Amino acid sequence: MLIRKIETFPLFYHLPKPYGDANGLKTYRTCYLIRITTDLGVEGWGECVDWLPTLHKGFQERIIPYLIGKSVTDRITLVRTLKKWHSRSSAAVSMALTEIMAKTCNVSVCDFWGGKFRESVPVYASFQSYSDKANWQKHSLKAIEQAIHQGFDKIKVKIGGKSIHEDQQHIKMVQTLLQEKIGLALDANQSYDIIAALRWQSMLDTWPNFLWFEEPLEISRITEYVWLRSRLSAPLAGGENLEKAADFMPIFLQYALDFITPDTLHVAGIDGYRETLSLARSFGTRVTPHSYDGALSRLYAIFAHACLEPWGKMGEDSIEPLEWDVMDNPFTKLIGIQPSNSEISIPSGTGIGLEIDSEMLAFYQWDGNSYG
């Protein structure tokens, strides 16, 4: 079975109301989808993300010419080559080829991977807490309140983009709203040093509903993470931008984090992503996946989590939650799945078991010119 055609769908959405984290405000969202069709007419979809002009040029001039005529069964070899050229493009290709193989075998992606442990996985509502509003804290609280009404029992909010005093004011207001009944995680996006991170210690120690403290330091500072983990009672999390399973080894070997947060679009290829999850289990490190961009990346994180063995024996099914971006982003709605009571059901059917919304693809198609 050979690759006959590859179509690309660069998508762009200008945010009417900017939002952001410690890295600054975002004014747009992008997503890059591909559809691979074989000589037998079997189709598979994939997703990646990067600067759209770079992605589009790379696919049209190098990646597509390379893939046309290649055998779908050479997925691992093809993805390994693409990782050397452009790591993030390999995510889309590996997803599409995985779906094609699952469809060819007349099974779901989960069954193609060997079967799932569960029919649903837990999710948490993830926020970009900052806006261009003078009253950004109240704006954030309103969004959190909406998520609670939708049934989420765990949330993650951003810190590190304002002064520690302003951020702590905000988090105190959040805790008043949550009344310690909703789980809370904080994400600093690598914006602190150790001294700044320790200024959160007294607050973290008093919160019974606290889930984890995500990336307070640059993720490369493994020794400092080990020291910080010995000082804080709060679990530490991180690793969303690491690109391969081997990059997590220093974290595992030195027990620097309680949770790793790999992303299906950042770890090169969906097989490499699953390898990372398996490696984490071998070292007894928990996994709460980062998922911020589009619907397919989130769906494959869900599939991988469904197929991941339980973390421990402390409950009937000890499985960690994965991120559910609740911000304004139409690309997470390209397929029709929504959580219910902080759980997302695993789609059934062959392949991914879902259809891509073709009208949305056409509506948000990037024109090749406007950006930002």
Tell me which residues are annotated as active site: 158, 290
Instruction: Estimate to the nearest angstrom the gap between the alpha carbon of 42 and the chain centroid.
Output: 27
Taking every pair of Cα atoms in the chain, the longest distance, rounded to a whole number of angstroms, is: 62
Cα-based torsion angle of the residue sequence 201, 206, 212, 215 in order, rounded to the nearest 10 degrees: -20
**Number of Cβ atoms within 10 Å of the Cβ of 216:** 29
Query: Which of 4, 20, 47 minimizes the C-alpha distance to 331?
Result: 47
The three-class DSSP label of residue 35 is strand
Please name the amino acid found at residue 261. Answer: T
Are the beta carbons of 301 and 109 closer than 8 angstroms?
Answer: no
Measured from the Cβ of residue 367, the count of other Cβ atoms closer than 10 Å reads 8
Tracing tokens 């902080």 back to the chain, one arrives at: 342
For residues 38 and 249, give the distance between their C-alpha atoms in angstroms, rounded to a whole number: 37
Distance CA 62, CA 82 (A): 10
The secondary element (H helix, E strand) that includes residue 308 is none
Instruction: Give the CB-side neighbour count of residue 364, counting CA atoms within 13 A.
Output: 25
Radius of gyration of the chain from Cα atoms? 20
